[in-house]
Amino acid sequence: MSKEVWKAGTLVYPVPAVMVSCGNYPEEKNIITVAWTGTVNTNPPMAYISLRPERFSYDIIKRTGEFVINLTTKKLVKACDFCGVKSGRDTDKFAALELTAQKASKISAPIIYESPVNIECRVKQIIPLGSHHMFLAEVVAVDVSAEYMDKTGKFHFNKTNPVCYSHGEYFALGEKLGSFGYSIRKKKPDALQNKNSSTTMKKPRKKNKK
């Protein structure tokens, strides 16, 4: 198998495409779609978004020091694309998409109520990298839609129909292939395995840590 060597570029895919809401709500609100985002630390929980300085949202987030990462679902994917091709300079994206801005619990930027997971972030550092500036932020609260919680308090994230973005296209999640640590987990007898199968993310059991 031969390889072609390309010039350096960004080809880490798939990635999330999230709707980042910002502004000093209720006076001000906007949404920008962001693919350059992710988790960078567990404790304290920290995330990042990278923005081009020319984005309308850039100045808002720089000034307020706050934003919300709203996760995108199959239902929201068209809205997500819209927020990535229209600017808040000339469009009220909440109004155009009939999305609900709601007061966040800890910050002044609004959450998008229709998104099942809203990650409230407070900016710690802005790192100019080149085309994009990275906003490193601490997660100060997470709002989740109660409809995806079960009686035991478990959040069934994958039932929200999350979407991802891969090389210019949006995709829903496909077939489940495994779960955290399954490569080293001892196989259970078939009958038991089917009985215990679930769509939720579970931590591997300690007894597998040998």
Tell me which residues touch ligand FMN (CB under 6 A). Answer: 17, 30, 32-36, 50-52, 55-57, 81, 84-89, 165
Position of minimal CB gap to ligand FMN: 84
Q: What is the DSSP annotation of 63-104?
A: HH-EEEEEPPBGGGHHHHHHHTTS-TTT--HHHHHTPPEE--
d(CA 110, CA 38): 20
Nearer Cβ to ligand FMN (65/84): 84
Least separation in angstroms between CB 51 and ligand FMN:
4
Nearer Cβ to ligand FMN (34/107): 34
First to last CA, the chain: 38
Nearer Cβ to ligand FMN (63/154): 63
Q: How many residues does the chain have?
A: 210
Nearer Cβ to ligand FMN (28/138): 28
Least separation in angstroms between CB 94 and ligand FMN:
11
Closest CA to 198 of 152, 144, 159: 159
Least separation in angstroms between CB 90 and ligand FMN:
9
Least separation in angstroms between CB 192 and ligand FMN:
42
Tokens 């080809």 — which residue? 11
Least separation in angstroms between CB 14 and ligand FMN:
11
d(CA 14, CA 190): 32
d(CA 131, CA 22): 21
Nearer Cβ to ligand FMN (67/155): 67
